Amino acid sequence: MKIKSAEFVMSNSDVEKCPKSRLPEYAFIGRSNVGKSSLINMLTDRKSLAKTSGRPGKTQLINHFLINKNWHLVDLPGYGYARVSKSSKKTFQSFITQYFKSREQLVTAFVLVDIRHDPQPIDLEFMQWLGENGIPFSIIFTKADKLKPKAIERHVADYKTILLESWEDMPNYFITSSSNGIGQEEVLTYIDTLT
């Protein structure tokens, strides 16, 4: 897929206020600092698309972008801040839960994980929750430029081992790097086939 246009549509904290259009949408989510903004900019060939809505405080919002005038890319808040109160964790959970449960336009979610880290409970629990709720997802491994090919293979294998304990198949996954563009074509082609 060639990116011909990428426009910021809106940010909001209320799922009810998300665009009413029936365009298919693809949500990107992961722990804060996983490289989500960089990935969104890399995928869309834009320097700072993800940051157009990135004012402080806006990170806890649902951000819609219109791509090629025919699908929505949704930038969801990062999870797993080390220092958040229990109540703000709860608010976050209900906010995200509501999005995933009610957004009929959602085709698939992309759960981002940093390829350098061992599988983390917070990511595994989130994937488990998506699975239990019937929400299709793929994994996007980020920052692949930071590891040698052998180490990438090892980390993916670790994920496979853990995920196959509770799943019949390994979810679809992509290896990406925003620094050198690895994975861009694969992710966009995948979106294209589903749209």
Question: Does 48 interact with ligand GDP (rule: CB under 6 A)?
Answer: no
Q: Which two tokens stand for residue 140?
A: 């996007």
Integer CA distances (angstroms), 151 to 99, 114, 116, 125, 157, in order: 35, 13, 8, 24, 10
Question: Does 36 interact with ligand GDP (rule: CB under 6 A)?
Answer: yes
Query: Residues 53-60: contacts with CB within 8 Å, 24+ apart?
Result: 53/8, 53/11, 58/11, 59/32, 60/13, 60/92, 60/95
Between residues 8 and 195, which has the closer beta carbon with respect to ligand GDP?
Answer: 8
Question: Does 7 interact with ligand GDP (rule: CB under 6 A)?
Answer: no
Between residues 118 and 169, which has the closer beta carbon with respect to ligand GDP?
Answer: 118
Between residues 159 and 183, which has the closer beta carbon with respect to ligand GDP?
Answer: 183
Choose one: 12-20, 65-73, 85-93, 140-148; the region binding ligand GDP (CB under 6 A): 140-148
Query: Distance (Å, rounded) from C-alpha 162 to C-alpha 19?
Result: 37
- Residues of this chain that interact with ligand GDP (CB under 6 A) are 32-38, 78, 142-143, 145-146, 177-179
